[in-house]
Structure 1
Amino acid sequence: MPKAYASTVIDLPADQVWAAVRDFNGLPVWGGHMVARSEIEDGKQGDQVGCVRSFHLHDGAHLRERLLAFSDRDRFYVYNFEKTPFDVQNYVATLRVTPVTDSGRSFVEWWTTFDCAPADSESWVDTFANGVFGGGLKNLQAHLAKR
């Protein structure tokens, strides 16, 4: 099962970074170029386990992701694909914010495991690790720097 992983250190306390990313529907706010529009279905909240975010990328692609686990205490959430244009299966991703205790900064990591055709594994790992997660973390840093 391939794993795609990206991480960064942000020069802000973990609680402040978590406040920016904790809303499962917050990608249009901090994700920059990633998402054109997004909504949580069925009137649920963006921190309610089981909620589904339905969003469109700027190229028109439509995705639906379900929030599987959420913790304010441990500053993470886990989600999966319910609908995706990507040729992957069993996609489960985690976004986590951890305090760097000796500096007051934050360690932010975002990763996924998934299944795909073996010949496509390297390409999907690169897409998720560098394009989606790496790009998203850079956008998060830029968003937080403006605050």
Structure 2
Amino acid sequence: MASTAASLDIPVPADRVWQLVGGFDALPDWLPYITSSTASEGGRVRSLTNAAGGVIVERLLAFDDRARSYSYAILSAPFPVTDYVATLTVHEVPGQDASRVEWSGVFTPVGVDDAEAVALFHGIFGDGLAALRRTLAA
């Protein structure tokens, strides 16, 4: 199994960041390469469409509003991995009116080596967090 993580400090209070990212169906609100999200099964499953027209279906595994965190699994996607589980968490930065957002995942590469799969998701996580910062700055 392979894993990767990215984190980013954002000069915005954690509650405000969580208000934007904490909705499991909210990715199109801050992640530009996800153009739409359709919730099903009472909001526990999201079907995402990316800018290239690919569809990614994910299931919410855990949600903790107080801890500002959720975990999800990919059910189907055009990615070369299986057994993908990721977590998105927003932390307060002590003594500051700022947040640290962490996005991490574990997965089993299929048809590619670990380094290639790690690079793919590290790029997605890092680019996604940068987009979140830009959205919050607007």
CA distance in 2, matches of 1:142, 1:88: 29
TM-score using structure 1 length: 0.89
Q: Cα offset for 1:104?
A: 2.2
In 1, are the aligned partners of 2:13 and 2:98 still within 8 Å (CA)? yes
Instruction: Say if 2:81 is the partner of 1:82.
Output: no
Matched, 1:31 2:31: yes
Distance across 1 between alignment mates of 2:13 and 2:79: 34
Question: Please, which of 92, 100, 122 is the counterpart of residue 107 of structure 1?
Answer: 100
How far residue 56 of structure 1 moved from its aligned partner, in angstroms, is 1.1
More strand by share: 2
SS in 1 for 2:67: coil
Aligned to 1:41: 40
Runs of 4+ in 1 over 2 A off after TM superposition: none
Q: CA RMSD in A?
A: 1.3
Q: How does 1:111-130 map to 2 (within 5 A)?
A: 111-117=104-110, 119-130=112-123
- C-alpha distance in 2, partners of 1:72/1:80? 18
Equivalent AA in structure 2 for residue 105 of structure 1: A
Partner of 1:21: 21
| Consecutive unaligned residues in structure 2, runs of 5 or more | none
Question: How many angstroms does 1:52 deviate by?
Answer: 0.5
- How many residue pairs get matched? 138
- Matched with 1:142 is 134
Paired residue secondary structure (1:73): coil
- Per-residue Cα deviation, 1:72-94 (whole angstroms, up to 9, x for no partner): 10000000011111121110000
Paired-residue identity, %: 40
Q: TM-score, normalised by structure 2?
A: 0.95
- Distance, in Å, in 1 between the alignment partners of 2:103 and 2:115 is 18
